[in-house]
Homo-oligomer: A and B are copies of this chain.
Amino acid sequence: MTSPTPAEPASRRLARALREDIAHGDLAPGDKLPSERTLAETHGVARNTAREAVRILADEGLVTAEHGRGVFVRPKPPLMRFGQRRYARTLRESTGKSPFRAEVEAQGRIPRVDCTSITRITPIPEVAERLDINPETETVVRRENWYYADDEPIQVGVTYSPWSIVEGTPIADSAQMGKGSLYARFEEKGHPITTIREEISSRMPTPDEVAGLRIPDGVPVIDLTHTGYDDQDRPFEVTTFVMRADRSALDYRMPVED
Protein backbone atom coordinates (compact mmCIF):
# COMPACT_ATOMS: atom_id res chain seq x y z
CA MET A 1 0.00 0.00 0.00
CA THR A 2 2.90 2.33 0.65
CA SER A 3 4.59 3.88 -2.33
CA PRO A 4 8.09 2.45 -2.75
CA THR A 5 9.84 5.83 -2.71
CA PRO A 6 8.13 8.42 -0.56
CA ALA A 7 7.87 11.85 -2.14
CA GLU A 8 10.94 14.00 -1.68
CA PRO A 9 10.34 16.60 1.05
CA ALA A 10 9.80 20.12 -0.21
CA SER A 11 12.89 21.44 1.58
CA ARG A 12 15.16 18.91 -0.09
CA ARG A 13 13.55 19.49 -3.44
CA LEU A 14 14.23 23.19 -3.12
CA ALA A 15 17.77 22.51 -1.92
CA ARG A 16 18.36 20.26 -4.91
CA ALA A 17 17.08 22.90 -7.32
CA LEU A 18 19.36 25.52 -5.82
CA ARG A 19 22.29 23.08 -5.79
CA GLU A 20 21.82 22.49 -9.49
CA ASP A 21 21.66 26.22 -10.13
CA ILE A 22 25.01 26.50 -8.40
CA ALA A 23 26.50 23.52 -10.25
CA HIS A 24 25.36 24.90 -13.61
CA GLY A 25 26.67 28.34 -12.87
CA ASP A 26 23.27 30.05 -12.90
CA LEU A 27 24.25 30.98 -9.39
CA ALA A 28 27.93 31.83 -9.53
CA PRO A 29 30.36 32.07 -6.62
CA GLY A 30 29.67 35.27 -4.75
CA ASP A 31 26.10 35.55 -6.06
CA LYS A 32 23.30 36.29 -3.64
CA LEU A 33 20.48 33.80 -3.38
CA PRO A 34 16.87 35.02 -3.32
CA SER A 35 15.82 35.84 0.22
CA GLU A 36 14.21 33.13 2.30
CA ARG A 37 10.89 34.96 2.09
CA THR A 38 11.15 35.22 -1.68
CA LEU A 39 12.07 31.55 -2.06
CA ALA A 40 9.14 30.62 0.15
CA GLU A 41 6.68 32.63 -1.91
CA THR A 42 7.93 31.58 -5.33
CA HIS A 43 7.99 27.92 -4.36
CA GLY A 44 4.74 27.96 -2.42
CA VAL A 45 6.16 26.87 0.92
CA ALA A 46 6.42 28.36 4.39
CA ARG A 47 9.45 30.46 5.16
CA ASN A 48 10.76 27.81 7.57
CA THR A 49 10.75 25.30 4.75
CA ALA A 50 12.73 27.57 2.44
CA ARG A 51 15.04 28.26 5.34
CA GLU A 52 15.59 24.54 5.83
CA ALA A 53 16.59 24.23 2.17
CA VAL A 54 19.15 26.99 2.60
CA ARG A 55 20.45 25.28 5.68
CA ILE A 56 20.99 22.03 3.82
CA LEU A 57 23.21 23.87 1.35
CA ALA A 58 25.05 25.67 4.14
CA ASP A 59 25.75 22.33 5.85
CA GLU A 60 27.24 21.10 2.58
CA GLY A 61 29.53 24.08 2.48
CA LEU A 62 27.99 25.46 -0.70
CA VAL A 63 26.57 28.74 0.63
CA THR A 64 27.14 31.07 3.54
CA ALA A 65 24.46 33.11 5.27
CA GLU A 66 25.37 36.61 6.34
CA HIS A 67 23.06 38.07 8.91
CA GLY A 68 21.21 41.08 7.59
CA ARG A 69 22.81 40.84 4.13
CA GLY A 70 21.68 37.63 2.52
CA VAL A 71 22.84 34.17 1.55
CA PHE A 72 25.74 33.91 -0.87
CA VAL A 73 27.29 31.17 -2.97
CA ARG A 74 30.61 30.45 -1.37
CA PRO A 75 33.56 31.28 -3.57
CA LYS A 76 36.28 28.65 -3.81
CA PRO A 77 39.54 30.46 -3.26
CA PRO A 78 42.72 28.58 -4.08
CA LEU A 79 43.85 26.40 -1.23
CA MET A 80 47.08 27.06 0.54
CA ARG A 81 49.16 23.92 0.26
CA PHE A 82 51.60 22.73 2.85
CA GLY A 83 54.05 19.89 2.46
CA GLN A 84 57.32 18.68 3.85
CA ARG A 85 59.21 21.47 2.13
CA ARG A 86 58.05 23.63 4.98
CA TYR A 87 60.77 21.95 7.01
CA ALA A 88 63.59 22.03 4.46
CA ARG A 89 66.76 23.77 5.51
CA THR A 90 67.33 25.17 2.03
CA LEU A 91 64.04 27.03 2.23
CA ARG A 92 64.95 28.39 5.65
CA GLU A 93 68.36 29.53 4.55
CA SER A 94 67.49 30.93 1.16
CA THR A 95 64.52 33.04 2.22
CA GLY A 96 64.98 33.36 5.95
CA LYS A 97 61.23 33.21 6.28
CA SER A 98 58.82 30.57 7.35
CA PRO A 99 57.06 28.38 4.80
CA PHE A 100 53.70 29.71 5.90
CA ARG A 101 54.76 33.20 4.91
CA ALA A 102 56.12 31.95 1.61
CA GLU A 103 52.92 30.11 0.75
CA VAL A 104 50.64 33.00 1.66
CA GLU A 105 52.72 35.52 -0.23
CA ALA A 106 52.69 33.23 -3.26
CA GLN A 107 48.95 33.78 -3.30
CA GLY A 108 49.31 37.53 -3.17
CA ARG A 109 48.08 37.76 0.39
CA ILE A 110 49.73 39.24 3.43
CA PRO A 111 50.87 36.70 6.03
CA ARG A 112 50.98 37.23 9.75
CA VAL A 113 52.03 34.87 12.53
CA ASP A 114 51.26 35.71 16.15
CA CYS A 115 52.81 33.82 19.02
CA THR A 116 50.06 34.21 21.60
CA SER A 117 51.49 32.26 24.50
CA ILE A 118 54.62 30.52 25.72
CA THR A 119 54.25 28.36 28.81
CA ARG A 120 56.05 25.54 30.55
CA ILE A 121 53.74 22.64 31.31
CA THR A 122 53.41 18.97 32.09
CA PRO A 123 52.81 17.28 28.75
CA ILE A 124 49.57 15.55 27.94
CA PRO A 125 49.97 11.81 27.23
CA GLU A 126 49.68 12.16 23.43
CA VAL A 127 52.57 14.61 23.40
CA ALA A 128 54.74 12.78 25.94
CA GLU A 129 54.34 9.58 23.97
CA ARG A 130 55.43 11.16 20.70
CA LEU A 131 58.37 12.95 22.35
CA ASP A 132 59.31 9.73 24.06
CA ILE A 133 59.60 11.39 27.46
CA ASN A 134 58.29 10.63 30.93
CA PRO A 135 55.43 13.03 31.67
CA GLU A 136 55.97 12.66 35.38
CA THR A 137 59.55 13.84 35.44
CA GLU A 138 59.95 16.02 32.36
CA THR A 139 58.25 19.24 31.36
CA VAL A 140 57.76 20.78 27.95
CA VAL A 141 57.51 24.28 26.55
CA ARG A 142 54.22 24.99 24.84
CA ARG A 143 54.13 27.69 22.15
CA GLU A 144 50.83 28.69 20.62
CA ASN A 145 50.89 30.33 17.20
CA TRP A 146 48.09 31.82 15.12
CA TYR A 147 48.51 32.09 11.38
CA TYR A 148 46.72 34.69 9.28
CA ALA A 149 46.39 35.64 5.62
CA ASP A 150 45.13 39.19 5.12
CA ASP A 151 44.06 39.16 8.77
CA GLU A 152 41.90 36.11 8.12
CA PRO A 153 42.79 33.36 10.59
CA ILE A 154 43.84 30.22 8.72
CA GLN A 155 45.36 27.88 11.27
CA VAL A 156 46.49 27.46 14.85
CA GLY A 157 49.65 25.60 15.70
CA VAL A 158 50.78 24.49 19.13
CA THR A 159 54.38 23.36 19.43
CA TYR A 160 55.62 21.24 22.34
CA SER A 161 59.31 20.66 22.94
CA PRO A 162 61.20 19.22 25.91
CA TRP A 163 62.44 21.77 28.41
CA SER A 164 65.75 19.93 28.50
CA ILE A 165 66.31 20.85 24.86
CA VAL A 166 65.00 24.40 24.65
CA GLU A 167 66.11 25.71 28.04
CA GLY A 168 68.06 28.91 27.52
CA THR A 169 67.06 29.32 23.86
CA PRO A 170 64.58 31.83 22.44
CA ILE A 171 62.24 28.89 21.92
CA ALA A 172 61.62 28.80 25.66
CA ASP A 173 60.72 32.41 26.18
CA SER A 174 60.71 34.64 23.13
CA ALA A 175 58.05 35.28 20.54
CA GLN A 176 60.82 36.28 18.13
CA MET A 177 62.69 33.32 16.69
CA GLY A 178 65.20 35.23 14.60
CA LYS A 179 66.45 34.37 11.12
CA GLY A 180 65.54 30.91 9.94
CA SER A 181 62.90 30.65 12.60
CA LEU A 182 62.21 27.79 14.98
CA TYR A 183 63.99 24.93 13.25
CA ALA A 184 67.22 26.89 12.87
CA ARG A 185 67.27 27.21 16.68
CA PHE A 186 66.69 23.48 17.11
CA GLU A 187 69.53 22.79 14.72
CA GLU A 188 71.86 24.99 16.72
CA LYS A 189 71.06 22.84 19.73
CA GLY A 190 72.07 19.69 17.88
CA HIS A 191 68.68 18.68 16.51
CA PRO A 192 68.59 19.20 12.74
CA ILE A 193 65.14 18.22 11.51
CA THR A 194 65.68 15.14 9.38
CA THR A 195 62.49 13.11 9.41
CA ILE A 196 58.90 14.06 10.08
CA ARG A 197 55.80 12.14 10.95
CA GLU A 198 52.47 13.64 9.95
CA GLU A 199 49.23 12.28 11.40
CA ILE A 200 46.20 13.70 9.65
CA SER A 201 42.52 13.58 10.44
CA SER A 202 39.51 15.75 9.85
CA ARG A 203 36.40 16.66 11.81
CA MET A 204 33.90 19.43 12.38
CA PRO A 205 35.26 22.28 14.48
CA THR A 206 34.39 22.79 18.12
CA PRO A 207 32.49 25.97 19.03
CA ASP A 208 35.76 27.47 20.29
CA GLU A 209 37.43 26.80 16.96
CA VAL A 210 34.46 28.23 15.08
CA ALA A 211 34.83 31.43 17.07
CA GLY A 212 38.63 31.61 17.02
CA LEU A 213 39.17 30.75 13.37
CA ARG A 214 35.90 32.39 12.26
CA ILE A 215 34.85 29.23 10.45
CA PRO A 216 31.60 29.34 8.47
CA ASP A 217 28.99 26.62 8.76
CA GLY A 218 29.69 23.51 6.77
CA VAL A 219 33.47 23.82 6.83
CA PRO A 220 35.50 21.10 8.57
CA VAL A 221 38.97 21.41 10.04
CA ILE A 222 42.07 19.43 9.26
CA ASP A 223 43.72 18.16 12.41
CA LEU A 224 47.43 17.55 11.93
CA THR A 225 49.86 16.21 14.50
CA HIS A 226 53.42 16.74 13.37
CA THR A 227 56.48 15.19 15.00
CA GLY A 228 60.02 16.25 14.13
CA TYR A 229 63.00 13.85 14.42
CA ASP A 230 66.68 14.75 14.28
CA ASP A 231 69.53 13.02 12.46
CA GLN A 232 69.71 10.40 15.18
CA ASP A 233 66.00 9.71 14.89
CA ARG A 234 65.20 11.31 18.22
CA PRO A 235 61.89 13.18 18.38
CA PHE A 236 62.43 16.72 19.61
CA GLU A 237 59.19 18.59 18.89
CA VAL A 238 55.51 17.92 18.37
CA THR A 239 53.20 20.44 16.76
CA THR A 240 49.45 20.12 16.47
CA PHE A 241 47.78 22.18 13.78
CA VAL A 242 44.10 22.93 13.35
CA MET A 243 43.43 24.33 9.89
CA ARG A 244 40.39 25.64 8.10
CA ALA A 245 39.80 22.94 5.52
CA ASP A 246 38.41 25.40 2.96
CA ARG A 247 41.69 27.31 2.97
CA SER A 248 44.27 24.62 3.49
CA ALA A 249 45.49 21.47 1.83
CA LEU A 250 48.46 19.20 2.38
CA ASP A 251 50.79 18.07 -0.36
CA TYR A 252 53.55 15.55 0.32
CA ARG A 253 55.99 13.73 -1.84
CA MET A 254 57.86 10.85 -0.29
CA PRO A 255 59.70 7.65 -1.07
CA VAL A 256 58.00 4.31 -0.58
CA GLU A 257 59.94 2.33 1.95
CA ASP A 258 60.75 -1.29 1.34
On A, residues with C-beta under 8 Å from B are: 16, 19, 59-61, 79, 81, 84-85, 87-90, 193-207, 217-222, 245-246, 248-258
A199 engages B258 (CB within 8 Å): no
How far, in whole Å, are A207 and B250 apart by their CA atoms in the complex?
Answer: 25
B59 engages A217 (CB within 8 Å): yes
CB distance from A7 to the nearest CB of B (A): 16
With contact pairs A220-B204, A245-B220 given, residues A89 and B198 touching in the complex (Cβ less than 8 Å): no
Residues of the B chain whose Cβ atoms lie less than 8 Å from the Cβ of A221: 202
> Which 7 residue pairs across A and B have the least CB separation, nearest first?
A220-B220, A254-B254, A202-B202, A202-B245, A200-B250, A201-B249, A87-B256
How far, in whole Å, are A204 and B216 apart by their CA atoms in the complex?
Answer: 12
Name the CB-closest residue of B to A253. Answer: B197
B245 engages A84 (CB within 8 Å): no
Residues of the B chain whose Cβ atoms lie less than 8 Å from the Cβ of A79: 201
CB distance from A16 to the nearest CB of B (A): 8
How far, in whole Å, are A205 and B204 apart by their CA atoms in the complex?
Answer: 12
B202 engages A84 (CB within 8 Å): no
Name the CB-closest residue of B to A256. Answer: B87
CB distance from A193 to the nearest CB of B (A): 5
How far, in whole Å, are A193 and B254 apart by their CA atoms in the complex?
Answer: 11
Per a CB cutoff under 8 Å, which of B194, B203, B249 touches A245? B203
B249 engages A84 (CB within 8 Å): no
B257 engages A88 (CB within 8 Å): yes
Q: 14 other contacts beyond A84-B257, A195-B255, with CB at 8 A cut-off?
A: A59-B217, A61-B203, A79-B201, A84-B256, A195-B254, A196-B256, A197-B253, A199-B250, A200-B222, A200-B252, A202-B221, A202-B222, A203-B245, A252-B254
Residues of the B chain whose Cβ atoms lie less than 8 Å from the Cβ of A201: 79, 222, 245, 248-250
CB distance from A254 to the nearest CB of B (A): 4
B249 engages A203 (CB within 8 Å): no
Name the CB-closest residue of B to A19. Answer: B207
Residues of the B chain whose Cβ atoms lie less than 8 Å from the Cβ of A60: 204-207
Per a CB cutoff under 8 Å, which of B89, B202, B253 touches A220? B202
How far, in whole Å, are A59 and B220 apart by their CA atoms in the complex?
Answer: 10
How far, in whole Å, are A30 and B213 apart by their CA atoms in the complex?
Answer: 30
